[in-house]
């Protein structure tokens, strides 16, 4: 009487695990980049809101050429504290943006966390 073999060989199991590992690595990498993209988009959206508040602050205080930190807008009640934080920030300190004025006009808002990636011009 011959015994029938059932199941998978060691090579087949290892090959399957390698494929699963590769797929998991690809999906995790894709997920991270999507998360970073979402944080960047949220940061840029907050900068648009800050532009409006900073414009009102600049008009009210007759600012010509200056660089102010977003903390000034919080202290003057132009914005709420949560808007002053970049979504990529690891520390909640409400000073993540610098606002640049030249000739009474906002030239740029700069995220102090990731300057190059989160620049709104």
How many residues in total does the chain contain?
Answer: 121
**Residue 117 belongs to a domain:** no
Q: Could you read off the pLDDT tens digit of each residue along the chain, which spans 121 residues?
A: 556 677 888 999 999 999 999 998 888 887 888 888 888 888 888 888 899 999 999 999 999 999 999 999 998 999 988 788 888 888 888 888 999 999 999 998 988 887 656 665 5
What residues make up the domain containing 32? 12-111
**Residue 4 belongs to a domain:** no
Indicate the pTM of the whole model.
0.68
Residue 78: count of CB within 10 angstroms of its CB:
18
**Residue 76 belongs to a domain:** yes
**Residue 36 belongs to a domain:** yes
With CA atoms as reference, report the closest residue to 95 among 75, 65, 121, 120. 75
């Amino acid at each position: 009487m011959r015994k029938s073999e059932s199941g998978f060989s060691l090579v087949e199991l290892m090959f399957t695990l390698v494929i699963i590992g590769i797929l998991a690595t690809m999906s995790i990498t894709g997920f991270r980049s999507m998360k970073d993209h979402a944080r960047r988009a949220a940061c840029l959206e907050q900068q648009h809101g800050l532009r409006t508040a900073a414009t009102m602050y600049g008009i009210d205080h007759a600012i010509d050429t200056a660089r102010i930190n977003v903390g000034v807008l919080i202290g003057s009640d132009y914005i709420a504290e949560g808007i002053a934080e970049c979504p990529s920030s690891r520390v909640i300190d409400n000073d993540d943006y610098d606002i640049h004025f030249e000739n009474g006009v906002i030239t740029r808002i700069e995220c102090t966390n990731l300057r190059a990636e989160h620049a709104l011009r």
